[in-house]
Amino acid sequence: MCKRVIDQVTADAKWYSTSIDGEVLASTTLTLFQAGVINETNLLAHVRARRHDFMKPAG
């Protein structure tokens, strides 16, 4: 499930022409999961809400 969330956020980054810090994305996802966000839809929403932590404009 965490991998699917990471894959979706990575696809989002490509769509919006941004780059991501993969380690921070993975850490954020796993931290949220370990904190009890175990529903995939909710996990994806929480990770997307924190995208400013790991996304930056490409270029």
Longest dimension (CA), the chain: 36
Q: What is the structure's pLDDT at 59?
A: 60
CB neighbourhood size of 22 (10 A): 13
Burial label, 37 (beta-carbon count in 10 A; 0-12, 13-18, 19+): middle
Q: Mind listing the pLDDT tens digit for each residue in 35-56?
A: 999 999 999 999 999 998 888 7
> Whole-angstrom Cα distance, residue 30 to residue 50?
13
Q: For the CA atoms of 34, 36, 40, 42, what is the dihedral angle to 10 degrees?
A: -130
pTM of the predicted structure, to 2 decimals: 0.86
Q: What is the structure's pLDDT at 58?
A: 64
Q: Decide if pLDDT at 27 tops 80.
A: yes
